[in-house]
Amino acid sequence: MKKDTLIRTIVYGTISAVLFGVLLLNTFPLRKTRKMYTPQIVVLGDSIFGQARDETSVSSLLSELLGQEVFNGALGGTCASRVNREGRLAYSKDSLSFVELSRAAALDDFGWQQATRVRESTTEYFPEAIDDLEKIDFSGVDILLVQYGLNDYHAGVPLDNPEDPYDPYTFAGAFRGAVAYWRETYPEIRIVLLTSTYSWYEYAGKTCEEMDEGGGILEDYINKEIQVAEEMGVEVLDLYHDVYPHETWEDRNLYTHDGLHPNEAGRRLLAETVAAYLKH
């Protein structure tokens, strides 16, 4: 190698190393000192709580009723359990399931969630919600509200696995595993499971008492969740049996806009029901 070429190589290499060092020194402290915040209440769940994200959302109304900061981490279309046994976790909603969000919070590592890209309508808020979840100091959170079940029911997720009680691909196993993560890492958090609400399926002309998507009717999932809450020693608030009137088909219009998702009156009713429970 010619002398001048060697000199240029050394100079350029030195400059590159210096620039990399400067970048590293300026970037690393920013990640280590990212802003942390601590809401009193964190909500994790699906579209029943997550679809509306304005001042009429369940979380916003809860904050107003309780006088506490409530973070809405509910993500529409997600399950308590993993669903795709064959798929890669980073490329499916499984990374956004309750069991996986719980593991991420326990490990303080939301890498899988940050890598997930969900290209579906009404999921535009997902990246911001994950960013905010990553910033929460869970050691100071007072209450974790957990509202899942409808998507597990729709997907026909198995209720339980007698051979593996913590199987994350089952409804009960996912709840057991997720609660265990929180109990071990953040034992001071008050965990309250909120069951799914009653639902009507206009396209099928059936209610959740008649629809079986492969794992049972919705009430089977409700009863299993209540059972797991008792097993794990956490609280459970039943939103299925006594919140929405469901004597007639027309009752679906009282508190939902499509038989499934709460309308503004439904969100107010859910917020008031949860607030009353938390106050007692």
pLDDT band at 31 (very low <50, low <70, confident <90, very high): very low
25 pLDDT higher than 70: no
Distances (CA, A) of 144 to 42, 152, 229, 242: 5, 20, 14, 22
Q: What is the rounded average pLDDT of the residues 72-85?
A: 94
DSSP structural state of residue 95:
G
Q: What is the rounded average pLDDT of the residues 2-6?
A: 46
Question: Could you read off the pLDDT of 79-119 as tens digits, one per residue?
Answer: 999 998 876 554 468 999 999 999 999 999 999 999 888 87
Residues 6+ apart with CB under 8 A from 213: 153, 154, 155, 156
28 pLDDT higher than 90: no
- Our measurement of the distance from residue 135's CA atom to the centroid of its chain's CA atoms, rounded to an integer in Å, reads 15
Q: Which pLDDT score is estimated for 34?
A: 60
Q: Which pLDDT score is estimated for 7?
A: 43
Q: Which residue has the higher pLDDT, 8 or 270?
A: 270
Mean pLDDT check: name the lowest of 81-90, 145-154, 167-176, 271-280: 81-90
32 pLDDT higher than 80: no
End-to-end CA distance of the chain, in Å? 81
CA–CA distance, 256 with 242 (Å, rounded to integer): 15
33 pLDDT higher than 50: no
5 pLDDT higher than 70: no
* Beta-bridge partners for 201: 206
Q: Which pLDDT score is estimated for 18?
A: 38
Residues 6+ apart with CB under 8 A from 89: 82, 95, 100, 112
DSSP letters spanning 233-280: T-EEE--SSSSS--SSGGGHHHHBSSSSSB-HHHHHHHHHHHHHHHH-
Question: Could you read off the pLDDT of 156-189 as tens digits, one per residue?
Answer: 999 999 999 999 999 999 999 999 999 999 999 9
Distances (CA, A) of 154 to 11, 141, 167, 217, 254: 62, 31, 19, 9, 23
Q: What percent of the chain has pLDDT over 70?
A: 85
